[in-house]
């Protein structure tokens, strides 16, 4: 539990330092058999390439024996026009060579892309 909180704190600290995020306001998308996912309304940014970034967190569904597995924090970059995404950071660790991919049948990512791309930016 302490390790999980430490990872969460470090990841949020890294993201806040990079993007000057405002207060965290987690918005949950509909859960699937894979687990639950949230995105942070205050973290949405448009970059100079016309792409959006957002802080997201994922918690996998419990394993077959009922054990709750550890979740992860992501900084996702979204190409709203083509419904593509890539993970720029996972738990505060940069992913320098990540490539864009389609959400395909991942209902959680599809829901995050739709919600974030339709969300107006705060001033």
99-108 confidence digits (pLDDT tens): 999 998 899 9
The C-alpha atoms of residue 83 and residue 109 are separated, in whole angstroms, by: 10
- Residue 123 in any domain: the answer is no
Is 69 among the domain residues?
A: yes
Give the Cα separation of 113 and 103 in Å (integer). 9
Name the residue among 2, 22, 117, 11 with its Cα closest to residue 58: 11
Structural domains counted in the chain: 1
Scanning the structure block, which residue is given the tokens 């942070």?
40
pLDDT at position 123 over 90:
no
The answer to whether the CB of 56 falls within 8 A of the CB of 37 is: yes
pLDDT at 114 over 90: yes
pLDDT surpassing 80 at residue 74 = yes
The pLDDT of residue 18 is 46
For the chain, strand residue ranges (E) read 26-28, 35-40, 45-46, 52-60, 72-79, 84-90, 93-94, 101-102
Residue 32 lies in a domain: yes
Q: Is 0.75 topped by the overall pTM?
A: yes
In whole angstroms, what is the distance from residue 78 CA to residue 18 CA? 17
108 domain-assigned: yes
In a domain, 65, yes or no: yes
Residue with tokens 């054990």: 67
Cβ atoms of residues 38 and 64 within 8 Å = no
Q: pLDDT-derived band of residue 95, with 50, 70 and 90 as boundaries?
A: very high
Domain assignment present for 39 = yes
How far apart CA 40 and CA 11 sit, in angstroms, is 13
What is the rounded CA–CA span in Å between residue 53 and residue 110?
Answer: 15
Residues spanned by the domain of 113: 2-118
Q: What is the pLDDT of residues 5-46, one digit of tens each?
A: 445 555 555 554 444 546 899 999 999 999 999 999 999 999
């Amino acid at each position: 539990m302490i390790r999980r909180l430490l990872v969460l704190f470090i990841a949020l600290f890294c993201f806040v330092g990079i993007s000057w995020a405002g207060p965290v306001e987690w918005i949950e998308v509909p859960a699937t058999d894979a687990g639950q996912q949230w995105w942070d309304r205050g973290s949405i940014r448009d970059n100079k390439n016309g792409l959006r970034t957002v802080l997201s967190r994922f918690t996998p569904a419990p394993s077959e024996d009922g054990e709750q597995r550890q979740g992860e924090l992501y900084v996702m970059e979204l190409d709203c026009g083509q419904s593509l995404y890539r993970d720029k950071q996972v738990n505060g660790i940069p992913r320098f060579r990540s490539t864009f991919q389609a959400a395909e049948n991942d209902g959680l990512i599809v829901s995050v892309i739709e919600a974030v791309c339709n969300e107006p930016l705060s001033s």
